[in-house]
Structure 1
Amino acid sequence: MRVTVFGATGAIGRLVVQRLLDEGHQITALVRTPAKVALTHPHLTVVTGQLSDRDAVERAVSGTDAVISALGPSLKRSTTGTQVTDGTHTIVQAMRARKVDRFIGLATPSLADPQDKPHWKHRVLPVAAGLMFPNALAELKGMTEAVTGSGLDYTIARITNPTDKPATGRIRSGFLGHDKVGSAMSRADIAAFLVAQLTDARYRRAMPVISN
C-alpha cells in the first residue's frame, strides 16, 4: 500500500515509518528538515516542505492510498498559535483535491466520541489539560474537528500517556464507559495500532481510546 506520513520525524512518527517499511509499504514523508529522517530505504520518499505549503502537501499525498498523521501540538505553555490545526486543514484540503479518502491520526480522550458513555475522564481530563496545556488542547480540538467534519474516512486514536517502553503487542481499544481501556501505552504499540488501521475497518469514522 502507498502511505503518506506526516510527523514522520517525531517520536511516534519515526516508529510509524519503520513499521510501514517492515510491512513492505511504499511511504512518502513530508518533513521540514530531511536530515532528521534517520533512515534511507528504497520504499521511502522524502518530500521537503512545511504544512503551510499547500503545493508540498499535495505532492506528498498525490497517488497515495492513505494518510497517517502522527502530528501533535507542542506541550510548552509558551507556545501560541494554531500551526497544527492550520496544517491539518491543509492536509484535508490536499486529500480532497487528490481524491485520497483514508485518514488515520491521533487525539486525546479529553475529546469525546459519540460512542462514549459518561466517564470520569470526560470531566477530569479536559479541565486538567485546559489548565496545564491550554494551547495544546485548543490545537487538538481544532485538528480533530478539521478531520471529523471533512467527510473523510477517518480513524483517530485517542491516547493519554505515551511511553518509551518496548512494544508489548497488547493493545486495548474501545470507547469510554463501554470498554476497559487504560491510559499508558508504549509509542511502539501506538505506531502498531495506527498502521493496523490501514486494513482494520472496526473504527471507521470513529475515535477509539487505546492503551496497553
Structure 2
Amino acid sequence: MNITVFGATGAIGQLTVAELLDHGHTVTAYARNPQKVPASWADNVRVVLGEMSDAEAVDSAVAGADAVISTLGPSMDRRAVGTPLVPGTGYILASMKNHGVRRFVGHATPSILDPQESPTAVNRLTSFLARTFLPRAYEELVGMSDQIKSSGLDWTIVRFIRPTDKPKQPRVRIGFFGTDRLGFPVSRADIAAITAAQVEDDGYVGRAPAISN
C-alpha cells in the first residue's frame, strides 16, 4: 500500500514510518523542516516539504495514497499562538476526498471521546487539565478531531495519555474507557506499531480506541 504520513519527522512519526517500511508499504512523508528528515529515508521514502497551511503541497502528498496517517498533535509550548492544525487537517481531509482516499488514521488524547463512549473520570480529568492549563492546544485538538469524525471517511483515532521512550512492551492494552481496563503510560514504539497496523485493519473504523501498556 502507498501510505502518506503527516507529522512524519516527529518522534512517533519517524517510528510510524519505520513500521510501515518494515511491513512492505511505500511511504510518502510530509515534512515542514528538511533538516529533520532522516538520512536513512533517502532511497526509501518520498518526501514532500511544506507547511500545513500549504494546501497545494498537502494535496501533492495525498495524491496516489491508499491511506493517510496523521501523527500531528498540538504544540505544548505555552507561547504558541493560533490553531494551524485545524485548517491543516481540513486540507488533508479535502485532498483525500478529492483523490478518492478513504482510510485515515490519526491521534488524540482521552479528552476526545469515542462516538460510543460515555465520559469517565479519566476523560473528565484529561479534558479539565487540558482546558485549564493548555486551552489553545485543547481547542486545536478538538477542532482537528471534530473534522475527522464528521468527515465521512473511514477514520480511526488512536488515543493515548502518557507516551514514553521505552521499546515495545510485552503487553499493550487497547479498548475504550468505561468498558476496558486501561492504564496511562504507553511506549511511542507501541503507539507507532498500532497506528501503522490500522491501515490494513478495519476493526476500529469510525472508532477512537485508547491504548496503554
Q: TM-score, normalised by structure 1?
A: 0.96
In structure 1, list runs of 5 or more residues that go unmatched. none
Q: Deviations over 1:45-92 (max 9, x none)?
A: 001111111111111011110001000000112212011111101111
Alpha-carbon distance in 2 for matches of 1:72, 1:169: 26
Q: Which residue of 2 aligns with 1:26?
A: 26
Alpha-carbon distance in 1 for matches of 2:124, 2:211: 18
Alpha-carbon distance in 2 for matches of 1:205, 1:51: 24
Q: Secondary structure at the match of 2:29?
A: strand
For residue 195 of structure 1, report the CA deviation from its aligned partner: 0.6
Which amino acid is the alignment partner of residue 120 of structure 2?
Answer: H
Instruction: Please tell me whether residue 35 in structure 1 is matched to residue 35 in structure 2.
Output: yes
How many correspondences in the alignment? 212
Alpha-carbon distance in 1 for matches of 2:178, 2:95: 36
For residue 114 of structure 1, report the CA deviation from its aligned partner: 2.5
> What are the residue-to-residue correspondences of 1:56-205 with 2, within 5 Å?
56-205=57-206
For residue 118 of structure 1, report the CA deviation from its aligned partner: 4.0
Alpha-carbon distance in 1 for matches of 2:190, 2:87: 28
For residue 33 of structure 1, report the CA deviation from its aligned partner: 1.9
- The 8 Å contact of residues 169 and 189 in structure 1, kept in 2 or not, is answered as no
RMSD: 1.2
CA gap 1:76/1:116 in 2 versus in 1, 3 angstroms: same
Which amino acid is the alignment partner of residue 27 of structure 2?
Answer: I
- The 8 Å contact of residues 157 and 209 in structure 2, kept in 1 or not, is answered as yes
In structure 2, list runs of 5 or more residues that go unmatched. none
Alpha-carbon distance in 1 for matches of 2:62, 2:28: 8
Alpha-carbon distance in 2 for matches of 1:25, 1:179: 31
For residue 41 of structure 1, report the CA deviation from its aligned partner: 4.5
For residue 42 of structure 1, report the CA deviation from its aligned partner: 3.1
Q: Deviations over 1:91-112 (max 9, x none)?
A: 1111111111100010110111
CA gap 1:100/1:169 in 2 versus in 1, 3 angstroms: farther
